[in-house]
Structure 1
Amino acid sequence: MTMILSFNEFKKSEYSRNPHFLVIGNPIGHSLSPLMHQAALDFHDINAQYHAVDLAQADITDFIGWLNRDEFLGCNITIPYKNQFIKVVDHIDSYSSEAGVINTIAKSDHKLIGHNTDIHGFTSPLLQYIDQIEGGRVIVFGTGGAAKAVKIGLEDLGVEEIIFVSRTPEKSNLNSDHIWVETVSYDQWQSYADETSMFVNTTPLGMSPNIGRSPISEFDGKLLGKKICYDLIYNPIQTKFLKQADEFGAITINGLDMLIMQGNRSFEIWTGKTFPLDRIKKLLINTLK
């Protein structure tokens, strides 16, 4: 079980005096990052620990000062701080610049570098399906924060058209200089389904504990048949959306590989080494079960 500490608790603990990586957010109790990264650190016999810190808004200034300590080696950032910390680092990578958010901080020559590894995490499981995706249309459910990373990833994969599905399409600002992007309502996407190669769920519909929900109705399940269906949710491993897709013979991808591959990219940036991927996937599946 991952131990969750407030920043004040972490500062006072013995952990703060040893080399460490962190994941920060509020709340942070759901994070599987400590399990993944500690397993990888132990596997490679790296003298460091990875901790989850529940960071209160009031402690951010204090935490920013902490980033310059020698014992601090890097961190992952999750909700609600991905936007905020882009202003804290000295440099950002191209994905961070495009997405407007960072999820990883690394240190290089006494400078703080912001990275966005979510896009890499999203595209990694899709590389084997590039022939089906490239030049085609993708329907994406949801227009929140995750949808922007998905848009950038799909552009990189050579998709020519993205249809975003939103409860409030008139408020969407997901535009692109490279490909055709359109935002439609939940009673309009069906007319775009035939020529679609992939469906992606970026909404929280179906996430534990509300596992009975899906972005599509039972009646529309047949529209997923023989397509690639990708759900960014990893808990549960098979969401209702993926069950609907599976029923009609779709290729299904859950969010676990994205979670692991974005973590793997962070770990690689920090250490130059990669996750023992099979071992970590098995560890997370057993944890989620």
Structure 2
Amino acid sequence: MKSMTLSQFIQSSKSNRSHYLLLGHPVEHSWSPIMHNIALQHYDIEAEYHAVDVRSRELTDLASFLNRASLLGANVTIPYKQSIANYVDFIDASAREIGAVNTIVKNEYQLEGYNTDYAGFTEPLQPYEFELQGASAVVFGTGGAARAIVYGLTEMGVEEIFLVSRSPNGIISYRDNRRVQIVSYENWTSFAEGALLIVNATPLGMDPKIDSSPVRDQEKQYLESKICYDIVYNPVETKFLKQASEAGAQTIDGLEMLIQQGSKSFKLWTGHPFPIKIVRDTLYEKLKN
């Protein structure tokens, strides 16, 4: 799916019509426009949802564009979930604690920042709610998505969370969180045996680099008997999930998280419940083609 840069979008006629945006870099892989446009059409809302590729040099332009009347709301994805907090007037308590914003709501003359990622992430884990209480989890990645995941797992009662980082000594944001320990890719397997849940919160395995995974092939035996969850949804079966299946793990793909976090964003923007079944059926039909 071809996306426009922010500069291109501002210059296009689309920017003058009522719209919602996905802001990030890169964004052309995203299915958010598909599902949100389905929802907007479902309620006959005269607006469109577009994915806009924001380059770092365009951030100054973004600050002023967010106040344009035709922009009704936005989602934010990598790498701006943390820095976007500087562009909003109000940050919801959960988004403030997470330290990342993925949804911007326009409320009269105020820009409000929310995080729907954590609720979207935890929804598919509800069948394992009681097992996860007091358990431990290994999470690959330390970015904005990982922050939401840590918050969601903490809310579910997970006792220990091992975040796997390529630069473990450089991560200082979790030093006051007794549940979180930063570990390296070289020693993550030391914590895998006692973990119930293993999560990929990195872009590894995302289209077009579908042959990548945070787990090396010689390490996939550490996924045995675990719940393995990949927040990447394109492709739905990532290399990480293939490794997990081969090791005999239970797997959760990222498509449901996409739908659930989108559902929360849509409700914040419009007040309408998301047509989840219609969206889900359409996305799974897309996977067959």
How has the CA–CA distance of structure 1 residues 56 and 190 changed in structure 2, closer, same or farther, with 3 Å as cutoff? closer
1:166 aligns with 165
SS at match of 1:86: helix
Asked if residue 110 in structure 1 is aligned to residue 116 in structure 2, the reply is no
Unaligned runs of 5+ in 2: none
* Farther-moved stretch of structure 1 (214-223 vs 70-79): 214-223
Asked if residue 229 in structure 1 is aligned to residue 228 in structure 2, the reply is yes
Unaligned runs of 5+ in 1: none
SS at match of 1:196: coil
1:188 aligns with 187
Q: How far 1:174 moved relative to its partner?
A: 4.9
2:60 aligns with 61
The code of the aligned residue for 2:190 comes to: S
SS at match of 2:196: strand
The code of the aligned residue for 2:273 comes to: T
Q: How far 1:85 moved relative to its partner?
A: 2.2
Q: How far 1:222 moved relative to its partner?
A: 2.8
How has the CA–CA distance of structure 1 residues 22 and 180 changed in structure 2, closer, same or farther, with 3 Å as cutoff? closer
1:143 aligns with 142
2:156 aligns with 157
**Number of equivalent positions:** 288
Q: Percent identity?
A: 47
CA distance in 1, matches of 2:273, 2:280: 13
The code of the aligned residue for 2:255 comes to: L
Asked if residue 277 in structure 1 is aligned to residue 273 in structure 2, the reply is no
The code of the aligned residue for 1:168 comes to: S
SS at match of 1:235: coil
How has the CA–CA distance of structure 1 residues 126 and 174 changed in structure 2, closer, same or farther, with 3 Å as cutoff? farther
Q: Is 2:100–2:147's contact at 8 Å kept on the other side of the alignment? A: no
TM-score, length-normalised on structure 1? 0.89
CA distance in 2, matches of 1:97, 1:211: 33
How has the CA–CA distance of structure 1 residues 237 and 13 changed in structure 2, closer, same or farther, with 3 Å as cutoff? same
How has the CA–CA distance of structure 1 residues 160 and 277 changed in structure 2, closer, same or farther, with 3 Å as cutoff? same
How has the CA–CA distance of structure 1 residues 195 and 35 changed in structure 2, closer, same or farther, with 3 Å as cutoff? same
What is the CA deviation profile of residues 1-54 of structure 1, one whole-angstrom value per residue up to 9, with x for unaligned ones?
Answer: x55333344334333333211122233322221111101000121121112223
SS at match of 2:282: helix
1:242 aligns with 241
What is the CA deviation profile of residues 178-231 of structure 1, one whole-angstrom value per residue up to 9, with x for unaligned ones?
Answer: 543222233423233332111111223322233233222334323322221101
Q: Is 2:78–2:144's contact at 8 Å kept on the other side of the alignment? A: no
How has the CA–CA distance of structure 1 residues 77 and 191 changed in structure 2, closer, same or farther, with 3 Å as cutoff? closer
Q: Is 2:139–2:164's contact at 8 Å kept on the other side of the alignment? A: yes
SS at match of 1:107: strand
The code of the aligned residue for 2:258 comes to: L
How has the CA–CA distance of structure 1 residues 69 and 203 changed in structure 2, closer, same or farther, with 3 Å as cutoff? closer
Aligned-pair Cα RMSD in Å = 2.3
CA distance in 1, matches of 2:204, 2:63: 34
Q: Is 2:82–2:144's contact at 8 Å kept on the other side of the alignment? A: no
Q: How far 1:86 moved relative to its partner?
A: 0.9
* Farther-moved stretch of structure 1 (137-146 vs 184-193): 184-193
Alignment of 1:33-48 (within 5 A): 33-48=32-47
Q: How far 1:136 moved relative to its partner?
A: 0.6
Q: How far 1:163 moved relative to its partner?
A: 1.6
SS at match of 1:81: coil
The code of the aligned residue for 1:11 comes to: I
SS at match of 1:76: strand
1:5 aligns with 4
Alignment of 1:245-264 (within 5 A): 245-264=244-263
CA distance in 2, matches of 1:77, 1:167: 24
Q: Is 2:81–2:144's contact at 8 Å kept on the other side of the alignment? A: no
1:16 aligns with 15
SS at match of 1:114: strand
How has the CA–CA distance of structure 1 residues 119 and 72 changed in structure 2, closer, same or farther, with 3 Å as cutoff? same
How has the CA–CA distance of structure 1 residues 260 and 11 changed in structure 2, closer, same or farther, with 3 Å as cutoff? same
The code of the aligned residue for 2:181 comes to: E
What is the CA deviation profile of residues 261-284 of structure 1, one whole-angstrom value per residue up to 9, with x for unaligned ones?
Answer: 111111010011122222222323
SS at match of 2:88: coil
How has the CA–CA distance of structure 1 residues 70 and 249 changed in structure 2, closer, same or farther, with 3 Å as cutoff? same
TM-score, length-normalised on structure 2? 0.89
Q: How far 1:176 moved relative to its partner?
A: 5.9
